[in-house]
Amino acid sequence: MMLLEDSQLVSKMILLLTISVMYNIQETDGSTGGTCGKKVCTRQDLGEIKEMLPNIREEVNTQTKAIVNIKEELSKMKHEISSYQAEMKRDISSLKADVRSDILALKNAILKPAHYIGCFADSLSSRDLPNGAGTGGFPHIDAMTIAKCNNVCRSQGFKYAGSQFGEQCFCGNDFGSQGKVADSECNVKCQGNSEEVCGGGFRNSIHLVRYF
């Protein structure tokens, strides 16, 4: 349909150009220096037009082909843009799904209950878990419980929490430098909950508090 319209447009262009040449080109009579008669000018003009028509047709055909090529290129570009947009939508959808999955995993990891690992040795000169969880970096926590120690270490971004001597809490991302001991050596009740055991003398009750 578009090519038919282009052909009709080309025909109209040729017709208009022919009429324009016939009525606007003026020839001068060499003997008198004046304008030649209408019939003579018309014959001359028609002869020139006949000579010009092949070139005009060729030029119009060239331009028509160029227009067709441009249309084809635009069609390809439109298709590529549509494909790119569809691909972007798929990527965004996949990314959203990944983000939702990561957020859910992170949420589950944060909310997952702490896991007791065991009783481990400690020393004053070289702390197995180097970060005190209390105010100012000191290990003391008022009304100490296992949950308090675990929550403080987790909130500070540490992976492990160690309760010691009923009232102290230490945090870190590695443990066990001084070895594991029998669970019976962690035998001091938590000051905030006498039903719980919070380590012993230089003994940490170690819990895993973050899973990532």
Residue 125 token pair: 């000169």
What confidence score (pLDDT) does residue 111 get? 67
Those residues whose C-beta lies under 8 Å from the C-beta of residue 182, and which sit 6 or more positions away, are 119
Per-residue pLDDT of the chain (212 residues; tens, 9 = 90+): 444 455 555 555 555 555 555 444 444 444 434 444 444 455 666 677 677 778 877 877 888 888 888 888 888 898 889 888 888 888 898 888 888 877 766 666 666 789 999 999 999 999 999 999 888 889 999 999 999 999 999 888 899 999 999 999 999 999 999 999 999 999 999 999 999 999 999 999 999 998 77
* Alpha-carbon torsion angle 25, 30, 33, 36, nearest 10: -50
What confidence score (pLDDT) does residue 103 get? 76
Residue 92 token pair: 């965004």
Q: Show me where the domains of the chain are located.
A: 2-84, 115-208
What confidence score (pLDDT) does residue 62 get? 84
SS3 for 189? strand
Residue 176 token pair: 């066990």
Helix axis angle for 38-111 and 2-24, nearest 10°, is 150
What confidence score (pLDDT) does residue 190 get? 97
What confidence score (pLDDT) does residue 82 get? 87
The rounded distance, in Å, linking the Cα atoms of 195 and 147 is 13
Residue 124 token pair: 């004053």
What confidence score (pLDDT) does residue 203 get? 97
